[in-house]
Amino acid sequence: MELRTTGAGEPASSGPQTVAVLDLGASAMRLVVAETREDGSLRVLEEVSRSVLLGNDTFSEGRIGVATMDAALKALEGFRRIMDSYAVTQYRAVATSAIREASNRDAFLDRVQQRTGITVEAVDGSEENRLTYVAVREALRGHEALESGCALLVEVGGGSADISLLRDGEPAFSGTYALGALRLRQSLASWHGTHEQRMRLLHRHVHNLVDEIQREIPLAEAKHIIALGGDMRIAARRGQVASEDTLVHTISREALLAFGEQVAKQDLDAIMESESLTLAEAETLAPALLVYCELLRETPAARIIVPETSLRAGLLIDIVRSRAGHGIEDFGKQVLASARALGDKYRYDAVHCAHVARLATQLFDALQDEHGLKPRHRLLLEVAGLLHDIGNFVSLRAHHKHTQYLLASSEIFGLSQDDMGVVSNVARYHRRALPQKTHPPYVALDREERVAVNKLAALLRLANALDADHLQKVTAVRVVFEEGVVVLEIEGAGDMTIERLVAQSRTDLFTEAFGRRVALREGTPR
């Protein structure tokens, strides 16, 4: 099996390399070993799956039990032997909700490291969404679902459902929700009623959660639905529309809804017999289809597109990109589209905020040798610039504080919780008080992140001051160094006295972060 990675660039080293990805999910642990090629493509050498129900423990007891932990370690030891037999040179192992939410997560990950030598990363929901998008973008390159209109991208896993709304192929909204198939089944593990009553309760629960999702994601806009996951592949094989493409299946709206209703009426034994499934596969089918069907009903989509891809494909593509020197900043277009969608949700002043973000990144670029930050930080600064005023939605008074907690509790496609911690703090300090050790969100960051926040917030503080009147009079800013003083030469039209005075009063954090005084003067256009 081959996997194309169009646009990924050349690998960092010449010649074929063997890489591996491991996905520790709620109901199974999976390994894929692949060979990278110089043209950016991948050839899958081996795929292995082991059924380990990590989610059963986490979603019922809140922690991974001893027996389950031992089963997981034995499976991972086997994966390690396979990786060694292929002389794997690079790998990435990720754990999703079942491990991420376990109270003994750190102890489990430490045992994995000690027993197998495998370092496992507990990724958050935003990273799951990004990796899924990476996989789908490659699998459906050129497909109408990514070329025009809105598409809902959904994967219902064992512990959670990853949902993104794509506008013309770019993520606008994304989130991870407690709608995993195994989690839903576990929620009724102690229920002693009839099968019909159980499914009625599940349907009501899913319906209520989907209603809440609609407050965050405009499901009704979705013209297309792209669905991933083993449960949807089962449904697609059962009722797919005839197609010559064996890697992209299509099932009609009516066929999926009918199949979902049929499965919901059957108990586990009947599902296993009628669909020729294992017990592990049968356990998740009904609740997963319940979620897919409920989401489908809230959209006008006439069919569901089911590509033969997964989070693991996204991981493999990401490895190729990282070997070519690409990072999260290469998803800047998608990150900024999602940030603007969040701004729209809070009715932000799009023109002012875009202008502030542009001035802030001009300062970032001009002061590269002074701050020494990475391209990733430039992207985080731009996001903070775009969203620094969303706190006005709550109140004009102390809106910078409202901005901080809104951002800290929001998701932006492609940005991790750690990234959002930096963004929310940078936006918090665009006005008023400087960062203090008495501010809990700031102190919660590690030392390097606090240093980055100080530098980025200093730039945002100046950029925001340069548009004090929200009239975009300052069109550009240049930096000149004169005897230990950083001179900001501003260009624009009209009387810029207010902008100069306000910016001069906001140089305090810059002087503290960079150790240089700041002066402003109007420059002559070049």
Neighbours of 452 (CB within 10 A): 24
Q: In sequence order, what E strands does 51-169 have?
A: 90-95, 120-122, 150-156, 161-167
pLDDT for res 520: 95
Buried b (16+ CB within 10 A) or exposed e, 231-265: bbbbbbebbbeeeeeeebbbbebebbbebbeebbe
Q: Which two tokens stand for residue 244?
A: 């010559």
Q: Which fold has domain 2-124+315-323?
A: Nucleotidyltransferase; domain 5 (3.30.420)
User: Do 234 and 313 meet the contact criterion of CB atoms below 8 Å apart?
Assistant: no
What are the helix (H) ranges across 250-349? 253-264, 268-275, 279-297, 311-323, 332-345
Average pLDDT (246-255) is 91
Average pLDDT (226-247) is 81
> pLDDT category, 328, cuts 50, 70, 90?
low
Average pLDDT (448-462) is 98
Average pLDDT (130-137) is 95
Classified as helix, coil or strand, 215 is coil
Please report where in the chains the tokens 């609740």 appear, as a residue: 287
User: Do 231 and 181 meet the contact criterion of CB atoms below 8 Å apart?
Assistant: yes
Torsion of CA 233, 239, 242, 244, to 10 degrees: 10
Exposed/middle/buried for 393, CB within 10 Å: 0-12, 13-18, 19+? middle
pLDDT(241) > 90: no
pLDDT tens readout for residues 370-427: 999 999 999 999 999 999 999 999 999 999 999 999 999 999 999 999 999 999 999 9
pLDDT(12) > 60: no
> pLDDT category, 7, cuts 50, 70, 90?
very low
pLDDT tens readout for residues 350-370: 999 999 999 999 999 999 999
pLDDT(245) > 70: no
Average pLDDT (174-195) is 89
The identity of residue 124, as a single letter, is D
Neighbours of 13 (CB within 10 A): 12
Average pLDDT (340-358) is 97
pLDDT for res 448: 97
The identity of residue 103, as a single letter, is S
Most distant CA pair in the chain: distance in Å? Answer: 82
Mean pLDDT over the full length of the chain: 92
The identity of residue 224, as a single letter, is H
User: Do 138 and 313 meet the contact criterion of CB atoms below 8 Å apart?
Assistant: yes
Closest of 30, 34, 31, 29 to residue 16, by C-alpha? 34
Q: Please count the residues of the chain.
A: 526
pLDDT for res 11: 41
> pLDDT category, 135, cuts 50, 70, 90?
very high
Average pLDDT (333-359) is 96
pLDDT for res 6: 47
User: Do 93 and 121 meet the contact criterion of CB atoms below 8 Å apart?
Assistant: yes
pLDDT(9) > 80: no
pLDDT(499) > 50: yes
User: Do 360 and 439 meet the contact criterion of CB atoms below 8 Å apart?
Assistant: no
Residue intervals of the chain classified under CATH 3.30.420.40 are 2-124+315-323
Residue with the larger pLDDT of the pair 4 and 372: 372
> pLDDT category, 5, cuts 50, 70, 90?
low
Average pLDDT (480-500) is 93
Residue intervals of the chain classified under CATH 3.30.420.150 are 126-309
User: Do 109 and 398 meet the contact criterion of CB atoms below 8 Å apart?
Assistant: no
Q: CA 319 to CA 315: how far, in whole Å?
A: 6
Closest of 258, 316, 397, 424 to residue 93, by C-alpha? 316
pLDDT for res 148: 86
Buried b (16+ CB within 10 A) or exposed e, 400-409: bbbbbebbbe
CATH code, residues 126-309: 3.30.420.150
pLDDT tens readout for residues 59-71: 999 999 999 999 9
Hey, which residues does 24 pair with through a beta bridge? 29, 95
- Which DSSP string corresponds to 1-28? -EE--TT----SSSS-EEEEEEEE-SS-
pLDDT tens readout for residues 262-303: 999 999 999 999 999 999 899 999 999 999 999 999 999 999
pLDDT(304) > 50: yes
Least confident of 35-39, 128-132, 173-177, 316-320: 35-39
Hey, which residues does 154 pair with through a beta bridge? 163, 227
pLDDT(336) > 80: yes
User: Do 307 and 228 meet the contact criterion of CB atoms below 8 Å apart?
Assistant: yes
> pLDDT category, 37, cuts 50, 70, 90?
confident
Q: CA 54 to CA 29: how far, in whole Å?
A: 9
pLDDT tens readout for residues 77-109: 999 999 999 999 999 999 999 999 999 999 999
Name the CATH superfamily, with its identifier, for domain 328-522.
Hypothetical protein af1432 (1.10.3210.10)
> Cα Rg for the chain, rounded, in angstroms?
25
Residue intervals of the chain classified under CATH 1.10.3210.10 are 328-522
Sheet with strand 150-156: strands edge to edge: 170-177, 161-167, 150-156, 224-228, 303-307, 248-252
